[in-house]
Structure 1
Amino acid sequence: MNIQNRIVSVDIFRGLTIVLMILVNNPGTWSHVYAPFLHAPWHGYTPTDLVFPFFLFIVGCSIVFAYQHKPVDATTYKKIAIRALKLIGLGLFLGAFTIHFPFFKDFENIRFPGVLQRIGVVFFFASILFINFNWKTLVGICAFLLIGYWLLMGFVPVNGMAPTFERAPNNLANYLDVLVFGTHSYKADYDPEGLLSTLPSIASALLGIFTGLILRSKRAKKEILLIGMGFLMLVVGYVWGLFFPINKALWSSSFVMVTAGWANIILGLIYYFSDVKGIKFGSIFKYAGANAIVLYFLSSFISKIMGLVKVDGDTSLKGWLFNTVYVQDFLAMETSSLLYGLSLVSIYVFLGYILYRKNIFIKV
């Protein structure tokens, strides 16, 4: 895609999200991380918990720009399916890869769900829904997914026990993850990118689609509508949270509304300053956002290698680099850990800048 055809505010938002994804996934040490850069233990949310739903939201927004005028035919379906399979394949590769021959973990130790897998699945279903239904029908589907998920989680007994939203065997989402994935999950008792919670994650992308439709429309004062929608979603999400707690691991319906609310507010502000007022800012995020998936995959893959390669007994290359360069007597360990992550982010932002300036946009 030509640089002039990029949507600046969408690229900035996407880039901000991918930069934060890289940052929160790459502290110098997980033993010393400032609280805002950690996920909430279970219920509630931190700034870090906003990052992944923001990305699914902007995936939905981007679907509008990519497929609004595409014909609904076999070619379009094929393109959607191929892209989804690429994302899922990259995610499975990351989960299975090891540096030792034959370079893949034993089958029973491979995690099936994951971040890229969820992006692929959500992209597939959100795209198919978008090209086949008008926005009013999509609103109904979105409501059905969120309300239906709440009813399943809150009212369906599990193994004869009353359902719960806690991390327990009678949590329906956790129960299904253990039943379906077994040892192929993130944890023995649940997976944050699990099977049932994929349903509300599709709703996160659908809410992004609605925002994309607004951005593509000819209506005036789009930023006011986006920000107003955002505050309304926050109210709905917090009220819903009284009955279905805000929870990233479960991707609860209240969590979907709250995160989409913040996404609309932030994107609305970026749109106002960058597209309405024409103020040039956030270029580093724009560069990263133009090749977001590529940068995320590279950061995850290289960080995994650095964690697996041993340079001094049981010390990994990452651990050696962190302890040698970043751990200093005059710095708190949390600060050293954050500086390590920021250093990695700067490398990938610079790579994004090079790709952007060379007009290279790699579509995965």
Structure 2
Amino acid sequence: MQPSVSAPQEPALAQPAPVRRLLSLDTLRGFDMFWIIGGEEIFHALAKSTGWAWAIFMADQFTHVEWNGFRPYDCIFPLFLFLAGVSTPYSLGSRLAKGDSRGKLAQKVIMRGLILVLLGIIVNNGILAKPIAEMRFGSVLGRIGLAGMFAQLIYLYVQNERVRYGIFAGILLVYWALLMLVPVPGYGAGNLTMAGSLVGYVDRLLMPGRLYKVVHDPEGLLSTLPAISTGLLGVFAGSVLRRHGIRDGQKLQQLVLAGVACIAVGWVWNSVFPVNKNLWTSSFVLVAGGWSLLMLSLFYWVIDMQNLRGWTFFFVVIGTNSILIYLADRVIDFEHTAHFLFGGILHFFSEPVQAVGAVIAFLAVKWGFLYFLYKKNTFLRV
């Protein structure tokens, strides 16, 4: 039995051309993007306006750990990069099967990666709005572009799956060795503080402009290396889902076992190489990747195996224009529009309802904007 697929086109950052997709993949991408565009603010608004213990707990889970450690919100970004990897065997694999040359596909992959880097710089700084010394060059889009690009190039040119696994593990081990063995002037080797790590030192040494955290950038140069493994982990998952000749149940079992194994190994590794999103440590790659595998497994089981699809449309609308809504946040005042449309009505309710209602109105305006584009079959592609 082949995986069920959906008709909507794929968002720009996950594939080079429109292909038919797993509905579970489209839905999970939209689910992930929902939190990126502001869904977590529901819990923050509830916590601030009510003081309820469960709301405070949930709001805390939707914040990043300051340095070492892991919360669900720390998985949002790597999940997106992981999903870009999952789509690779479908998008590039289908083109290879049709006879497209690896060289031409590689050119498109590289071009898309570089465009995402450029878009990330624009998102951070505007267009010619700041002098170079004040610009931040590291970005979320830049990391997706570079890490996704290298993961896809590995998929294109490394045909042996065992060798791909070796590259995945090798990157994580080499990164660990670099951070633990290479000395940083004034701090020595193995220092994993913000200022003392090799990651921060390389950022200060090589990155132009300013760093997001002055002495360190969470989307800097060296920490992009292990992010390639995040993308590769998605490639491995996509290869399992696209594989012919095995049942859906076997695919699900492989994904779940891989997810559990990644989380277990990641937390064991944490004892000597802490789970740290800012440094994108090898242990973080495994823990975040393990949870990404489990979430993909859950969505795949519910949607593509159990055929429970009625609820997916809300998230598919978001996922099919993920780049556009990410960029639109910088140039369209959705909050002003939401207040204009719903602010007067919300004044009739209590403070908690107003606080949560304002967030829901904000999200509704965004979703309505995306729905309009979806119905017009308008998708931003790189």
Shorter-normalised TM-score: what interval? 0.7 to 0.9
**TM-score of the superposed pair, with normalisation by structure 1:** 0.85
Residues in 2 aligned to 1:86 and 1:328: alpha-carbon distance in whole angstroms: 47
Q: Does 1:276 align with 2:305?
A: yes
The residue aligned with 1:84 is: 113
* 2:257 is equivalent to residue 228 of structure 1: yes
**Whole-Å separation in 2 of the counterparts to 1:153 and 1:343:** 45
Pick from 140, 145, 154 the counterpart of residue 129 of structure 1. 154
Q: 1:263 to 1:127 in 2, by over 3 A?
A: same
Deviation at 1:357, TM superposition (A): 3.3
Select 1:184's aligned residue among 210, 231, 241: 210
CA positional deviation for 1:225: 1.6
Query: Cα offset for 1:230?
Result: 0.8
Match of 1:15 in 2: 30
Change (3 A) 1:142 1:195: same
User: Given that residues 246 and 255 in structure 1 are in contact (C-alpha distance below 8 angstroms), is that contact kept between their aligned partners in structure 2?
Assistant: yes
Higher alpha-carbon deviation: 279-288 or 113-122: 279-288
Q: What is the distance in 2 between the residues matched to 1:53 and 1:327? A: 39
* Closer/same/farther in 2, CA of residues 264 and 161 from structure 1, 3 Å limit: same
Aligned partners of 2:41, 2:330: CA distance in 1, in Å?
Answer: 9
Please state if 1:349 is matched with 2:367. Answer: yes
Cα distance, 1:285–1:331 mapped onto 2, change above 3 Å: same
User: Which letter does structure 1 place at the counterpart of 2:33?
Assistant: I
Alignment size in residue pairs: 343
Structure 1 position 120 matched with structure 2 position 145: yes
- Which stretch shows the higher mean deviation, 137-146 or 80-89? 80-89
Q: Give the deviation of 1:164 after TM superposition.
A: 4.0
Residue of 124, 127, 131 corresponding to 1:95? 124
2:223 corresponds in structure 1 to 197
CA distance in 2, matches of 1:111, 1:57: 24
Amino acid at match of 1:9: S
SS class of match (1:68)? helix
Gap runs ≥5 in structure 1:
307-316
What code does the residue aligned with 2:21 have? R
For 2:349 and 2:130, locate their aligned partners in 1 and report how far apart those are by CA, in whole Å.
Answer: 38
Aligned AA for 1:167? T
- Contact 2:133-2:209 at 8 Å conserved across structures: yes
How far is 1:19 from its partner?
Answer: 1.1
Residue 287 of structure 1 pairs with residue 317 of structure 2: yes
Secondary structure of the corresponding residue to residue 285 of structure 1:
helix
Tell me, in whole angstroms, the C-alpha distance in 2 between the residues paired with 1:24 and 1:41.
21
- Normalised by the length of structure 2, the TM-score is 0.81
**Partners of 1:359 and 1:127 in 2: how far apart?**
27
Deviation at 1:285, TM superposition (A): 1.0
1: CA distance, partners of 2:200 / 2:262: 27
Distance 1:90 1:168, change over 3 A: closer
The residue identity in structure 2 corresponding to 1:107 is I
- Answer yes or no: is the 8 Å Cα contact 1:94–1:301 preserved in 2: no
